Copies of this chain bind each other. A is one copy, B any other.
Amino acid sequence: MDTNRLASSIVRGDRAALARGITLAEDYPAQASRLLVRLGPPGRAFVVGVTGPPGTGKSSLVDRLIEAYREKGLKVGVIAVDPTSPITGGALLGDRIRMTAHAVDRSVFIRSMASRGWSGGLSRATSQVIRLMEAAGFDLILLETVGIGQSDIEVVGVSHAVIVVLMPGLGDDIQVSKAGLMEVGDIYVINKSDLEGADPMVVSLLSLFRGSPRSPPVLKVSALTGDGIGRLPEALESIRQKFLSAGEDLKLKSIRGMIVEEARGAAMARLAVVSQAKAGRLARQVLAGKITVESAAARLVR
């Protein structure tokens, strides 16, 4: 199928075409770029990052959000970039369970993505997949990542809202502040609040925000028992309403993030093409003491 036909099939809402576009973004981002330029500008879909340490139950909360927004009649896309999640890490089985739950619902599209490969590659692909889902008519796109390392920082860049998911017994506030999660959340969720230690965690989290200009909501929920779970879509909805009414700043932030990811990915890809053989030759000269690592790197970038 040529790029023009694939583009129009995606816009028409053809799920197989969307899946094909996503595979393209994962494997051949440069080709995906040629597809994406045919799909119109981004800015319509509401993009929500859901991040937090492994095991905090992000997937269950994502499932709840899918349900809540399906009830409103929105089309919901999910991108899971979490190697420890039952979706991605547990992999096939997890995928199958969730796909089955929403299989009859053609207004839900779930895709897990591998977090391997060159730095910058994943986030470029993620950003491209958001744009593909948006072009396919999805109104809400949930981006689930494990709250560890760089992928989350990048996710923040393309999201309109970020939900940080925590749970009791994580080492409390230190972990949160060290992992850079303090700055990024628009909503904080203490999940598994049926476990001991939830209340102190809420208190310590609130105390971290005391004196800061930000005061994001801190929600105590249990995806297991359902306690407090309704407050999450409520809190998210109030951000989405801002996005829908005024929202130009929010839209610009996300688009800026997409531009940066695309630029970064393109720059990295260019480097990758030249790097292997040339870097090998340069390494010999460095080992022989003829040139420095720095000058070798400079020759590689050029």
Contact = CB atoms under 8 A, between A and B. Distances in A.
Contacts of A298: 263, 266
A146 B84 CA distance: 12
Interface residues of A, number: 76
Contacts of A90: 171, 174-175
Interface string A118-152: 11111100000001000000000000001011110
Contact of A151 (B123, B131, B150, B300): B150
Contacts of A54: 53-54, 84, 148
Interface in A132-191: 146, 148-151, 153-154, 171, 174-175, 178-180
Given A91-B174, A280-B252, A259 B297 contact: yes
Interface core residue of A115, A119, A178 (most chain B CB under 10 Å): A119
Number of copies: 2
A148 B259 CA distance: 26
Interface of A: 33, 36-37, 40-43, 53-54, 83-84, 88-93, 114-123, 131, 146, 148-151, 153-154, 171, 174-175, 178-180, 248, 251-253, 255-256, 258-260, 262-264, 266-268, 271, 275, 279-280, 282-284, 286-289, 292-298, 300-301
